[in-house]
Structure 1
Amino acid sequence: MTVTALVAPTVAGYEASADLAALVVRTTHDDQLELGAEQLRLACKCAHCTRARFDGRFPARFPGIAITDIGDLGYGLNISFSDGHNRGIYPKPYLLSLAER
């Protein structure tokens, strides 16, 4: 009897695109996914952004936003943006779920 285990892909590598407008993610299943900087900024779940959404102050768009830095925390990425926002931590499974949308 052969047992085949289905293992969900995980993040194997990442980098900002050459124009800084996207995060390119490579998975353990050899997929390459691209997440736009605006999509990521809109998906930030930090306390500051969560509160801004609750108060109705969160922008509907971030046109022209760029990724300025990426810090790897092991379980997730801390992504900084050209608008100065650098509080967001994106768990790696969350990044993969965003790519599926």
Structure 2
Amino acid sequence: MSMTALVAPTVADYEASADLASLLVRTTQDDALSVPAETLRLSCKCAHCTRARFDGRFPDAFPGIAITEIGDLGYGLNIAFSDGHNRGIYPKPYLLSLAER
């Protein structure tokens, strides 16, 4: 009897697009996905952004925002943006959920 385990896809590789306006992601199932930088910035769940949302100070949009740096933490990516924000950590399953929207 053979059992095949179902494994959820995860991030295998990533890079910022040439214009820095999107995060390009390749999954372990060889899917190519793209997440706009503005979607990432609006979806940040760091304490600073969470507090700003709670206080009603979080912007509704980040027009022209760009990805300036990507750090791989193993379980997720730390992404820095052109507005100076660099606190957001995006777990890999969360990144894939943002790409599916």
TM-score range, shorter chain: over 0.9
Distance 1:100 1:33 in 2: 8
Distance 2:12 2:22 in 1: 17
Where has structure 1 moved over 4 Å in runs of 4 or more?
none
Aligned-pair identity (%): 84
User: How far did residue 90 of structure 1 move?
Assistant: 0.3
SS of 2:78's equivalent?
strand
Letter in 2 for 1:46: C
Q: How many residues align?
A: 101
Report the RMSD for the aligned CA atoms in angstroms.
0.8
Distance 2:89 2:5 in 1: 30
Matching of residue 74 in structure 1 with residue 74 in structure 2: yes
The match for 1:92 is 92
Letter in 2 for 1:21: A
Deviations 1:34-87 (A, max 9, x none): 000000000000000000000000000000000000001111100000000000
The match for 1:64 is 64
Distance 2:60 2:91 in 1: 23
1:15-94 alignment runs, 5 A limit: 15-94=15-94
